[in-house]
Amino acid sequence: MAKVTVENLTKKYGKTTAVRNISFDLEDNEFFVLFGPAGAGKTTILNMIAGIGDPDEGRICFDGQSMNFIESSKRNVAMVFENYALYPHLTIYENIASSMRTKAHREPEEVIDREVKRIASLLRLEGLLDRKPSQVSNGQKQRAALGRAMVRKPNIFLMDEPLAHLDAKLRNAMRKELKAMQDKLQTTTLYVTHDYAEAMSLGDRIAVIHQGEICQIGTAEEVYNMPATEFVARMFGDSEINILQGVLRREDSTLKLVLPLSNRSYELPRHTAEVLEASGRKQVDVGLRSSAVRYSWRPEEGYVKGTVYTMEPLGNKVELTVKTEGGAVRLMVPVTETPDVDETIYLAFDVSGGIYFDSDSKEYIVCQKETAGKEGKR
Amino acid sequence: MKELTKKPLLVRIRPWLILLPTLVVTLGILYPFATAIYYSFTDYSLKSTAYEFVGIKNWVEMFTGKEFWHSLGVTLKYAVLATALEMILGMVIALTLNTEKRWAGILKVILIFPLMVAPVIAVLLWSLMTNTSIGILEKFLNLFGVYAFPWWAASSTALFSVVMIDVWVNTPFVLLLVLAGLQGLPKSPYEAARIDGGSAWFTFKTLTLPLLKPVLLIALIFRIVSTVQEFSIIYATTKGGPGDTLMNLSLSAYMDGYTYSSIGRAIPQILVLWILINVITKKLVGAWLKAKSAN
Amino acid sequence: MEQKKRGEKALMLAGKVLLVFYTLFAVFPLIWMIIIAFKGDSQMYDTLFIFHPTLANFKNVLTKGSYVKAFVSNLIISGGAVLVSVLVGVPAAYALARYEFKHKEGVAFTILSFKFAPEILIIIPVFTIFQKLKLYDTYFGMIWIYQFIGLPLLIWVLRGYFEDIPVEMERAAELDGYSKREIFFKMLIPLIRPGLVAAALLSFIFCWNNFTFGLMLCGFKIQTITVSALTYISTSTIHYGQMAVVSVIAIIPEIIMCLCIQKHLVRGLSFGAVKG
């Protein structure tokens, strides 16, 4: 396994810039996730590392050695493609064995046989080795594609949305399997996905990509709790984060937050107040995850009135969208609650659990977790 | 290893290297084509190797002579008649064959056979069919009191007879393409039309025909390009005769070039034919691209 | 409504009747050919379908005259031409399918234009060049000119087959460590093989059927089957049985090949424009 460095990578297709000035490092044996919406440029980055496309600017190094314009067959990287890209005319066995039958990675037949069987048992493909790709299910194709990459000892594993075409149940199972395998095998992996749950569960670190640029690189905990921008905050979580426009007001010599939903002013935690004070802003965006929204069916002190607009059952929870005078708010309620549409509901906000953003630049300012979470690294 | 700042030369020119063999054999044909244009301004003849530049004399003679206009007329008459018959017949037969029934499956295979027959061999077959001593068609016409029907031996029936052979050979081409087109039609609009209760004719006019347009245009392009330069069938039957009844541009150029040894007179006619083909294909390919993107 | 239904039924019936007539028109000449081929000269005039079959016509064609020689010549020319066009055409089809480069479509359409150029336009100048280079009436010259019949077809049809292979599969092979050459022979050729066989056989049929090249560019030492067949028409022969045998020998190999490539016929004949 190698240390992979990506420096100032830029790729243009005609007039559109697909990837703009991207840099990151992969430590040895790190599982690094490129996460972002469709069309963000994730696959383009992956392809440049594999040598499928050449960067217009910037450099890719494996262990300090520049890989620019080196043909992909000479880079010793293994890749799992979104559409599997198995060899349709070869059996699963031959697909997995294929790399060991090339000049570059030639192995004797006994070794090939042993390795293929080892990988096959790891991926539970034993009974399928004589089948052609067209004769197995999507999940099995997926595992075969994974197997074809895993028999190798490459500089880096590249995975392009390998679970995207599986149904939800299989996807969860495969995700757990991948994680277990990663812990066992200790490989350097670059993994592309648009699924936040995959990113958070698999990634040692996650790079969030938006419109060809990196918004943030950090651990799952960091991107979830301290998102660098409102965009990053919106991308993570079952229920999209509520972003409310708040006004900061000085009352009794302490800084308080006024939300548009009520004229009530909220007390802020000390650290948060200090940072906000220092930023000198009067207006902030407050990101409140559904866990920071409490609810009641009866009017209570400090609660805001609203009506249930939509309900979406998500297994053991139900996501509600509530219309209030100040805008729509999303929150989770237990599945035992069965409100009617247009039923009146009362909401309260736990602003100390909020994430504060600059209302102009949409960039992170502060959150409570920063102080609670040990050193508050960023 | 040194860092590369651009792709190695061999990688950059790889596509051209792969294409090289084809380009070499292709140049072999582009060169004669260029000399052909030059020859049209000379009195080049197959009889002697010496020739002189004569300017536009060949061209002027061609455009002022009666023969050229006659040949152009024959060319267009033959092409339009043969193509129209093949298109209509091919389409109608394809529509009647467009079922899953067993007999249709067998016919779909058998009816393609004539397409594989060389035009000259087809003429041989139809000579046997129409022969006045042994032909079955002669025997058939005898039943109606018609004896020794001349077929392509008389100028009044020659065009029809020769086009019949063209239709025999090439209708399967249209049939095959239209069948493929019919098979590729989406199912859901037809279900919707059936629920709406439209008549079969209405469904055909508003649904099938527009959806088949790309396939029909492809068939039309191939057929018109082929019939406009038809040579083999006419040569094998009448060599352009009787008289000059079937002397289309291909035949006329062949006669001028080979029989009368005047390459200089032959080539302008072929170049006109070539321009004609180019104009037709350009128009039709444009229409095809439009129809394809519309569907 | 009732009337409309009846109108549709009448239309269907008319279609069926036309189909019967067309089937007779299309198939009967072939049946007639086979009947005549087995008819002795003496039975030619007074029998139609009931006669004593004889192999005399086959014996005559196969032992006398130049038809067998023409058959062999045709085989050499068509086979050689298809081989050449496969060797140069398959790589070209791949380059046109996979690479992006300047003038790509221009090159592709120039190749296609050979299909649409009048044959005589090519033949006349080629004839003069053949005379100069002493290629007239030689196998080398004939194979060289015949390969232009199949080349555009092969390139255009196979380009489509290559484009049908997901490019990721090729990338995967590259990442596995295969060289370009290995990918081409081990991964791509097996995948396009059905299309390749079909296109090659179709090219062979086109070469086999060609008449003009054989008429104008050879004739003394080498004679093609179609030119040879022509002599059976023009020499106002009364050996009709032999004419039929000549046709049978020319047609049967093609019908067998046609049956072999049934599934790919539409795509081949339309140069890839219609994917049947």
Which pLDDT does position B15 carry in this prediction? 85
Domain membership flag for residue C208: yes
Which pLDDT does position A100 carry in this prediction? 92
Domain membership flag for residue C151: yes
Domain membership flag for residue C48: no
Would you give the DSSP letter of residue B45?
B
**pLDDT tens-digit readout, C27-46:** 999 998 998 888 887 777 77
Q: Residue C180: closest CA among chain A residues belongs to which residue? A: A73
Which pLDDT does position B219 carry in this prediction? 92
Query: In chain A, which residues have their Cβ closer than 8 Å to the Cβ of C190?
Result: 89
Q: Is the pLDDT of residue A229 over 50?
A: yes
Which pLDDT does position B2 carry in this prediction? 60
Domain membership flag for residue C51: no
Place of tokens 């004419």: C243
Q: Residue A150: closest CA among chain C residues belongs to which residue? A: C176
The fraction of chain B above a pLDDT of 70, given in percent, is 99
Which of the residue ranges A256-265, B58-67, B105-114 has the most confident prediction, judged by mean pLDDT?
B105-114
Rounded-to-integer distance, Cα C89 and Cα C157, Å: 10
**Is B126 within 8 Å of C29 when comparing Cβ atoms?**
yes
Residue A9: phi, psi to the nearest 5?
-75, 130
CB within 8 A of C30, min separation 6: which ones? B113, B114, B125, C251
Query: In chain B, which residues have their Cβ closer than 8 Å to the Cβ of C215?
Result: 235
Which pLDDT does position C237 carry in this prediction? 61
Quick one: pLDDT band at residue A378, thresholds 50, 70, 90? very low
Query: In chain C, which residues have their Cβ closer than 8 Å to the Cβ of A104?
Result: 177
Query: In chain B, which residues have their Cβ closer than 8 Å to the Cβ of A71?
Result: 11
Quick one: pLDDT band at residue C236, thresholds 50, 70, 90? low
A vs B, Cβ pairs < 8 A, gives 16
Characterise A116 by phi-psi region: left (phi > 0), alpha (psi -120 to 50), beta (else): alpha
For B213-218, what is the mean pLDDT?
91
Domain membership flag for residue C10: yes
Q: Is the pLDDT of residue A340 over 80?
A: yes
Domain boundaries, position C184? 57-270
Query: In chain C, which residues have their Cβ closer than 8 Å to the Cβ of A141?
Result: none
Quick one: pLDDT band at residue B14, thresholds 50, 70, 90? confident
Across chain C, mean pLDDT equals: 87
Which pLDDT does position A129 carry in this prediction? 93
Count up the domains in chain C and report the number.
2
Quick one: pLDDT band at residue C159, thresholds 50, 70, 90? very high
Q: Name which of B289, B96, B106 is nearest B182 in CA terms.
A: B96
Q: Are residues C99 and C22 in the same domain?
A: no
Domain membership flag for residue C190: yes
**Is A105 within 8 Å of C168 when comparing Cβ atoms?**
no
CB within 8 A of A173, min separation 6: which ones? none
What are the Cα distances from residue B145, in Å, to A184, A261, B126, B141, B202?
A: 95, 103, 21, 7, 43
For chain C positions 45-84, those within 8 Å of chain B (CB to CB) are 45, 48, 84
**Is B1 within 8 Å of A71 when comparing Cβ atoms?**
no
Which pLDDT does position A377 carry in this prediction? 39
**pLDDT tens-digit readout, A283-336:** 888 898 888 888 888 888 888 888 999 988 888 888 899 988 878 889 888 888
Distance from A78 to chain C by nearest Cα, in Å? 6
Facing residue for B3 by CB, picked from A54, A66, A71: A66
Q: Are residues C150 and C20 in the same domain?
A: no
For chain B, which chains pass the contact test of at least 3 CB pairs under 8 Å? A, C
On whether any CB of chain C is under 8 Å from the CB of A104, the answer is yes
Residue A187: phi, psi to the nearest 5?
-125, 155
In chain A, ranges of CATH 3.40.50.300 domains? 4-228
For chain C, which chains pass the contact test of at least 3 CB pairs under 8 Å? A, B
Which pLDDT does position B205 carry in this prediction? 83
On whether any CB of chain A is under 8 Å from the CB of B5, the answer is yes
Q: Are residues C148 and C114 in the same domain?
A: yes
Test the B interface: residue of C121, C227, C261 with most B CBs within 10 Å: C121
Facing residue for C174 by CB, picked from A73, A87, A88: A73
For B60-85, what is the mean pLDDT?
92
Q: Are residues C112 and C80 in the same domain?
A: yes
Distance from B10 to chain A by nearest Cα, in Å? 12
Q: Residue C86: closest CA among chain B residues belongs to which residue? A: B22
Distance from B124 to chain C by nearest Cα, in Å? 6
For A210-235, what is the mean pLDDT?
90
Q: Residue A55: closest CA among chain B residues belongs to which residue? A: B6
Which pLDDT does position A121 carry in this prediction? 87
Facing residue for C172 by CB, picked from A51, A71, A79: A79
**pLDDT tens-digit readout, B149-192:** 888 888 888 999 999 999 999 999 999 999 989 988 888 888 88
Decide: A305 and A346 in contact? Cβ < 8 Å. Answer: yes
Rounded-to-integer distance, Cα B51 and Cα B54, Å: 9
Q: Is the pLDDT of residue A263 over 90?
A: no
Quick one: pLDDT band at residue A371, thresholds 50, 70, 90? low
C132 burial via Cβ count (<10 Å: 0-12, 13-18, 19+): exposed
Quick one: pLDDT band at residue C2, thresholds 50, 70, 90? low
Distance from C178 to chain B by nearest Cα, in Å? 16
Q: How far apart are the first and last CA of chain A?
A: 28
DSSP-assigned states of every residue in A203-221:
-SEEEEEETTEEEEEE-HH
Q: Residue B40: closest CA among chain C residues belongs to which residue? A: C125
Facing residue for C175 by CB, picked from A78, A89, A103: A78
What's the fold here for domain A4-228? Answer: Rossmann fold (3.40.50)
Which pLDDT does position C4 carry in this prediction? 59
Domain membership flag for residue C130: yes
Which pLDDT does position B1 carry in this prediction? 52
Q: Is the pLDDT of residue A374 over 50?
A: no
Query: In chain A, which residues have their Cβ closer than 8 Å to the Cβ of B6?
Result: 69
On whether any CB of chain B is under 8 Å from the CB of C250, the answer is yes
Query: In chain B, which residues have their Cβ closer than 8 Å to the Cβ of C61?
Result: none
Across chain B, mean pLDDT equals: 87
Beta bridge partners, A242, equal A288
**pLDDT tens-digit readout, A30-74:** 899 999 998 888 999 999 999 888 888 888 988 888 888 888 888
Query: Which CATH architecture best describes the domain A238-376?
Result: Beta Barrel (2.40)
In chain A, ranges of CATH 2.40.50.140 domains? 238-376
**Is A54 within 8 Å of B7 when comparing Cβ atoms?**
yes
For B42-50, what is the mean pLDDT?
77
On whether any CB of chain C is under 8 Å from the CB of A85, the answer is yes
Which pLDDT does position A375 carry in this prediction? 41
Quick one: pLDDT band at residue C221, thresholds 50, 70, 90? confident
Beta bridge partners, A349, equal A293
Domain limits of chain B? 1-39, 56-294
Helices (H), chain B: 9-12, 14-39, 57-64, 66-97, 102-110, 113-116, 119-130, 136-142, 155-183, 188-196, 200-203, 209-228, 232-237, 249-254, 263-294
**pLDDT tens-digit readout, C77-87:** 999 999 999 99
Which pLDDT does position C248 carry in this prediction? 92
Domain membership flag for residue C163: yes
Quote the tokens at residue C162. Answer: 């290559």
Q: Are residues C21 and C93 in the same domain?
A: no
**Is A54 within 8 Å of B1 when comparing Cβ atoms?**
no
On whether any CB of chain A is under 8 Å from the CB of B3, the answer is yes
Q: Residue C244: closest CA among chain B residues belongs to which residue? A: B125
Q: Are residues C137 and C79 in the same domain?
A: yes
**Is C187 within 8 Å of A87 when comparing Cβ atoms?**
yes
ipTM of the complex: 0.89
Which pLDDT does position A351 carry in this prediction? 84
- Please report, for the domain that includes residue C176, its CATH number: 1.10.3720.10
Q: Are residues C146 and C265 in the same domain?
A: yes
**Is A102 within 8 Å of C168 when comparing Cβ atoms?**
no
B259 burial via Cβ count (<10 Å: 0-12, 13-18, 19+): exposed
**pLDDT tens-digit readout, A113-158:** 999 999 898 888 889 999 999 999 888 898 899 899 988 888 889 9
Q: Residue A57: closest CA among chain B residues belongs to which residue? A: B5
Q: Is the pLDDT of residue B295 over 80?
A: no
Neighbours of A112 (CB within 10 A): 20
Across chain A, mean pLDDT equals: 86
Distance from C254 to chain A by nearest Cα, in Å? 30
Q: Name which of B133, B113, B130, B152 is nearest B235 in CA terms.
A: B152
Query: Which CATH architecture best describes the domain B56-294?
Result: Orthogonal Bundle (1.10)
**pLDDT tens-digit readout, C56-103:** 888 888 888 788 889 999 999 999 999 999 999 999 999 999 888 888
Neighbours of C130 (CB within 10 A): 22
**Is C191 within 8 Å of A89 when comparing Cβ atoms?**
yes
Q: Residues of A at the B interface (Cβ-Cβ below 8 Å)?
A: 54, 59, 65-66, 68-71
